[in-house]
Structure 1
Amino acid sequence: MLSKWAGGLGNDWTPVRALNSYIKGTNGKSQGVVPFLKVANDTAVAVNQGGKRKGAVCAYLETWHLDIEEFLELRKNTGDDRRRTHDMNTANWVPDLFMQRVFEDAEWTLFTPSETPDLHDLTGAEFAERYAHYEAIAKETDMLHKKVRAKDLWRKMLSMLFETGHPWITFKDVCNLRSPQQHVGVVHSSNLCTEITLNTSKDEIAVCNLGSINLVQHVQGGVLDREKLARTVKTAVRMLDNVIDINYYAVPQAKNSNLKHRPVGMGIMGFQDALYEMKLAYGSDEAVDFADESMEVISYYAIQTSSDLAIERGTYETFKGSLWDQGILPIDSLDIVAKSRPERMFEVDRTQRLDWDTLRAKVQKDGMRNSNVMAIAPTATISNICGVSQSIEPTFQNLYVKSNLSGEFTVINPYLVRALKDRGLWDSVMVNDLKHFEGSVQKISRIPEELKAIFATAFEVEPRWIVDAASRRQKWIDQAQSLNLYISGANGKKLDLTYKMAWLRGLKTTYYLRALGATSAEKSTINTGALNAVKPATVAAPVTAAVAPEVKAEAPAEEDFAQAAPVPMACSIDNPDCEACQ
């Protein structure tokens, strides 16, 4: 029903007993979790999202589950197809203890939940203590278990992530230890896009109402307009709270959960555009500081507005006993994680700029209208509608072809065009160079280094900058971020360092791993190329691009374009309001 009404699903499968677990009623052995995941996969295919999109499900499994190794291979294109889920997303729900064992190069024990049922609901130090207890029992009895080297399992997790794009890596303990609602239950999984971290149970299906602020609209004169951003946040949180009451709920468990806890998810989009306006490179300390500053303002006023709404409309039902009630705000919950981990395994910047003491006292006094107020969604659709970069992503390409029902359209980064025009660099040679290098400016010698840094694309930004910026945001957010990681020249060492860094920096979840392909397309609209039968002499290179077979073209020399006619000026491609092409 959730899928029918256009819902994407995140499911927790850890309680399902593992392969070869004893079945008491029949004296038989279980087939494990995989056959059930196959059924869920096929159901998602059969029941799509209201006839608009394919059904979308993400299955989560904890790293100590005995079926974890087979779970990692669910998206492989080889092997028994009856034990593969080609259409379903998967995610690892990783406890801190496993990451510690990886760093220490220690052993890791896999159990079946039918013999270790309480591990599922334990987090932090309590989980570690109970896990060690079961390891001791396994040594002395015939308890079903398997010992592996933690590093070997970690390596397989990263290998499958690189090979199939799944399972995503998400972190169980930081999601729970920083959850404002840990007094009413355990966060057993995230959602389809890994930004929602809410409690689920037999009677409650977590739902979050998402909204995203167009951040670039709050940058004036190259600086963040805090007052405007505060006004927008106050309006948006009120709107999201209203949605809870007027929304349609496909199943009663979803309505029960949403009305009881009233979570909302205030996020952002257009982060990269804001950096362009401020003339900052994504891969810079200044951009990381901006990520910190902008999210702090959003966090402060989102919490303040929810507290104001509590005065007007009443606190949410389960406020008593929450972290809010104890005067622990998201920035304060970092201390809980720090205490649960060994020293030097939690590296998070604690810089604060606003008056959090006053807000902390207000929340304790007046309460909160919403159990959760922040989450950063992918915004793949609404960012296109608004004409800005997705969510918190760096620019994927400065030049690409977009296909939709109306046809194919060449899209070029308008900020780049404007910057090149300002420096007198926008001409037919530049157009050909940009097409040849697929929008990358790094190999075009006449572009200044300053612009090369600002207009570096996602794969040209070191992943550590993406993780650092996300870490600075995460400290202010009570839920999580839908965070894609881009890694060029991906190898085991790079993946290992990047995902370990994500854990050390306190990230709650990660989303897709994007790796760069080894080939690129032939450019048929430039004046040279292996597949061009005729070399045009004076015909201008049209702005639209066609895609030819994947053959690497030789780099164009400037003299090849010396006699080329100027680019036609029928349409101003750096003006988003131009209607010539509609």
Structure 2
Amino acid sequence: MPQLVVKPDNRQLAFDEMRLSVYADRILNGLEQLSKETLLRGVQSKLRREEVSGEEISNAFTMSALELVTKEEPDWKFAAARSLLTSLYKKAAVNRRYKAYPEEPYGELYPLITDLVKKGIYREELLTHYTKAQIAELGECIDYTRDLLFDYIGLLTLSDRYLAHDFDGRVMELPQERYMIIAMFLMHREPEEKRLELVKEAYWAMSNIYMTAATPTMSNAGKKVAGQLSSCFIDTVDDSLEGIFDSNTDVARLSKMGGGIGVYLGKVRARGSDIRGHKNTSSGVIPWIRQLNNTAVSVDQLGTRKGAVAVYLDVFHKDILAFLDLKLNNGDERMRAHDVFHGVCLPDLFMEAVEARGHWNLFCPHEVKKVMGWKDANGRALGLEDFYDEELGQGAFREKYAEATANLELSRITVPAIDIMKRIMKSQLETGTPYMFYRDTVNRTNPNRNQGMVFSSNLCTEIMQNQSATVIEQEELVTKDGQTRIVISKIPGDFVVCNLNSIHLARAVPAGVLERLVPIQVRMLDNVIDINNIEVLQAQYTNSQYRAVGLGTFGLHHLLALEGIRWESEEAIEYNDHLYEHINYLLVRSSMELAREKGRYPKFAGSDWETGEYFTKRGYTSGEQEGKYVTAEQWRQLQQEVAADGVRNAWLFAIAPNGSTSIIAGSTASIDPLYELLSYEEKTTYKIANPAPDLSEKTIWYYKTAFLIDQNWSIRMASARQRHVDQGQSFNLYVTPDIKATDFLQLHLNAWKGGLKSTYYVRSRALTIEECESCAS
């Protein structure tokens, strides 16, 4: 055993074995089912040098606890977390020069804020909008015992990625302080008379882990950093050289700030199309996608990882076949873009052609506009991409497609629809993508369809909001006060912004706090819109006009296991239907109440919210599909209130992947089934075992893992949820590499027929997929 312990100030103390026992008692308090003797044996085996530091002793406890984590004894992950917590407390106390005690490990909040504002780490608003007395009051609300809710991987993720560090990399902020700073920053513009109560409410929601904020908000709120608070963005590229390069520049600027980007390229002319009358001169969309690929690699996200960009193209675009091969590892490398993700936009008519084994025509959007002569009320030329079917089996898109097909002046490529689908499925099994985006389903249920079209989705397929291209109007030399400048005038398009946070279902639902939780979540999201400063002005403008938000959920499988509900069951489908209707009702009501207080979103007039169609389309008011938690009469009452007072936010519900934040919360990701009962996080020199949340003799029977589940049950659950989600769901399909083509095709057909708006990755055990960090709300 060691003889000496070296303290952080270089003092040397005699090693006292009894202190190991006291420390073990502390981290096992409340975990009496775990063996103290087994833990101490592990610790002692790691302390064989004559002289050790206090940090080495802490690490020995942490690593010994981690080595004991199994499916049978999963709670060792909490013992490891408590050891890591103790180390964090000590480091923060040394770095901030205060004394930490086991019964009071946190320092005072006001000195922390003043010091980090002075150092340029925190934003000045934390001092200009709160008095010393108010900050002291908020400091009294910090409850360090809530740190015990973290398991080891959750706490490690939080401390490594989100807690504030000084410029020398030393930890300065502790977990509960991060939550309090987020709450203070998001509420700093609220009226002074209720600001503190709203801060306390937001802190309550986050610190109890009833919810999580999105990664950009978690990481950047209250910090004086270059990053912003929104998760991701969607751009629509204009069919012009200026528009294409402007879009690339905007992607670079947003990627630099940590945002994930979705880019719709369906308006860009195809390969072989004319340019200014010169035949066969266009190189099509692939070279521009390669430019975006280079941007994603070269302009990284705040210096931490390469940029994340998804590109979308319509299945009726002439370049679709080359597009589907973008990420394959064979063929012409000049036609590949391995660092972007891709998604394909599918109308009902195509899926019908696949099922009927019919033919499919591919067109150039530029030629369609030139030859067909379709125009909107303002005289703007329209392409096939500007139409959708208003009803299943009938509508404007199929009519325009038939017109284009019948026009012999219009060039096209005709292929069997099933051949395109085979290319899609081949790419999905090899690379996990393309994503599937069912454009007719999306636009039929778009509550703001009176204002425009939804052409594609974002990097994670859950955001579905109106889009349009930003167009350069003119460029001129202007001389004023003896200075000559080049002034560029642009007409801003709808440049989508994603503002996200998520409910921890497995904590919030059993605790019965949804009615209290959802209103503060909506307010937090709405405040992000006003606080955020987005460099790309059309994104800032769109954000202000629609005030769109995306409240999501995670921990669904965790919740079902706690409730004793099997994933593959009618009970699970019914449970999803009622639960998500309840959440949606609370969402709409919260946004309506916020509109009463602060005003409706500027483009509310004429929306499905105002006309009431939002409610009737979903069957809420008829009484024919009455839910367990919300009656038809309650919906009818809310419909009347929304018509009178509006809603604050044009879109409300979007279920993101929640990768990182669900890890922090110690739960299952998003709406996904559990991946493994015991998974492992790989570190440089060791592996960390991560058991399923709340794994026990009771819950293990309800944790059937992803690749063993019949995916049709997952599709049916997603279909039940989709009625209540005004945007989309990051819905993954889990398949084995040997899946039959007919079975794989049927999954896609079932997803489309079930009313899903998109599918995200096709996950196979043979694939390793790197997800968008920004969207992991």
Q: If the TM-score is normalised by the length of the shorter chain, which range does it land in?
A: 0.7 to 0.9
Q: What TM-score do you get using the length of structure 2 for normalisation?
A: 0.58
2:744 is the counterpart of 1:495: yes
Superimposed CA distance per residue, residues 114-133 of structure 1 (whole angstroms, 9 cap, x where no aligned partner)? 11132121111111111100
Deviation for aligned residue 1:475: 0.3
Superimposed CA distance per residue, residues 338-381 of structure 1 (whole angstroms, 9 cap, x where no aligned partner)? xxxxxxxxxxx955342321111111111111001110000001
Match of 1:121 in 2: 386
Query: One-letter code of the match for 2:496?
Result: A
State the SS of the aligned residue for 1:402: strand
Query: One-letter code of the match for 1:166?
Result: T
Show the 5 A alignment for 1:268-283.
268-283=553-568
State the distance in 2 between where 1:382 and 1:175 align: 27
2:402 is the counterpart of 1:150: no
Q: What TM-score do you get using the length of structure 1 for normalisation?
A: 0.77
State the distance in 2 between where 1:122 and 1:351 align: 33
Show the 5 A alignment for 1:501-580.
501-517=750-766
Match of 1:211 in 2: 501
Match of 1:305 in 2: 590
Superimposed CA distance per residue, residues 124-158 of structure 1 (whole angstroms, 9 cap, x where no aligned partner)? 111111110010003xx3x3211111122222222
Match of 2:642 in 1: 363
State the SS of the aligned residue for 2:256: coil
Distance 1:82 1:310, change over 3 A: same
Match of 2:715 in 1: 467
State the distance in 2 between where 1:148 and 1:27 align: 23
Higher mean C-alpha deviation, range 117-126 or range 384-393 = 117-126
Query: One-letter code of the match for 2:750?
Result: M
2:662 is the counterpart of 1:383: yes
CA contact (8 A) 1:180 1:371 kept: yes
Match of 2:141 in 1: none
Distance 1:395 1:474, change over 3 A: same
Query: One-letter code of the match for 2:600?
Result: T
Query: One-letter code of the match for 1:152?
Result: D
Match of 2:732 in 1: 484
Query: One-letter code of the match for 2:671?
Result: I
Distance 1:351 1:109, change over 3 A: farther
Match of 1:316 in 2: 601
Distance 1:17 1:333, change over 3 A: farther
Match of 1:130 in 2: 400
Deviation for aligned residue 1:334: 7.6
Distance 1:34 1:415, change over 3 A: same
Superimposed CA distance per residue, residues 31-78 of structure 1 (whole angstroms, 9 cap, x where no aligned partner)? 111111111111111111111222011000001001111111000111
Stretches of structure 1 that go unaligned for 5 or more consecutive residues are 336-348, 421-450, 519-582
State the SS of the aligned residue for 1:79: coil
Query: One-letter code of the match for 2:442?
Result: C
Query: One-letter code of the match for 2:655?
Result: I
Match of 2:304 in 1: 52
- 2:653 is aligned, of 374, 381, 391, to 374
State the SS of the aligned residue for 2:317: coil
State the distance in 2 between where 1:248 and 1:185 align: 25
Match of 1:457 in 2: 705
State the distance in 1 between where 2:347 and 2:627 align: 28
Show the 5 A alignment for 1:136-175.
136-138=406-408, 141=409, 143-175=410-442
Query: One-letter code of the match for 2:747?
Result: T
Query: One-letter code of the match for 1:279?
Result: G
Rg comparison, structure with higher value: 2
Match of 2:627 in 1: 352
CA contact (8 A) 2:428 2:434 kept: yes
Stretches of structure 2 that go unaligned for 5 or more consecutive residues are 1-252, 370-382, 390-394, 471-491, 768-777
CA contact (8 A) 2:667 2:693 kept: no
- 1:95 is aligned, of 324, 344, 347, to 347
Distance 1:194 1:331, change over 3 A: farther
CA contact (8 A) 2:504 2:553 kept: yes
Query: One-letter code of the match for 1:465?
Result: W
Question: Whose helix proportion is higher, 1 or 2?
Answer: 2
Superimposed CA distance per residue, residues 170-206 of structure 1 (whole angstroms, 9 cap, x where no aligned partner)? 1111111111111111111100000000112212311
Match of 1:64 in 2: 316
State the distance in 2 between where 1:43 and 1:330 align: 42
Distance 1:330 1:376, change over 3 A: farther
Distance 1:235 1:115, change over 3 A: same
- 1:35 is aligned, of 256, 273, 287, to 287
Show the 5 A alignment for 1:217-236.
217-220=507-510, 228-236=513-521
- 1:8 is aligned, of 250, 260, 264, to 260
State the SS of the aligned residue for 1:186: coil
Query: One-letter code of the match for 2:579?
Result: S
State the distance in 1 between where 2:746 and 2:541 align: 42
Show the 5 A alignment for 1:403-414.
403-404=682-683, 407-414=686-693
2:348 is the counterpart of 1:104: no
- 2:673 is aligned, of 387, 394, 402, to 394
State the SS of the aligned residue for 2:496: coil
2:328 is the counterpart of 1:80: no
Deviation for aligned residue 1:406: 8.3
Query: One-letter code of the match for 1:174?
Result: T
Match of 1:548 in 2: none
Query: One-letter code of the match for 2:591?
Result: S
Match of 2:462 in 1: 195
Deviation for aligned residue 1:413: 2.3
Query: One-letter code of the match for 2:566?
Result: A
CA contact (8 A) 1:93 1:170 kept: yes
Deviation for aligned residue 1:403: 2.2
State the distance in 1 between where 2:521 and 2:593 align: 13
CA contact (8 A) 2:447 2:650 kept: yes
| C-alpha RMSD of the superposition | 1.9
Query: One-letter code of the match for 1:185?
Result: G
State the SS of the aligned residue for 2:502: strand
Distance 1:190 1:406, change over 3 A: farther
State the distance in 1 between where 2:645 and 2:615 align: 17
State the SS of the aligned residue for 1:211: strand
State the distance in 2 between where 1:246 and 1:404 align: 37
Q: Percent same amino acid among aligned pairs?
A: 38
Distance 1:280 1:153, change over 3 A: same
Deviation for aligned residue 1:105: 2.2
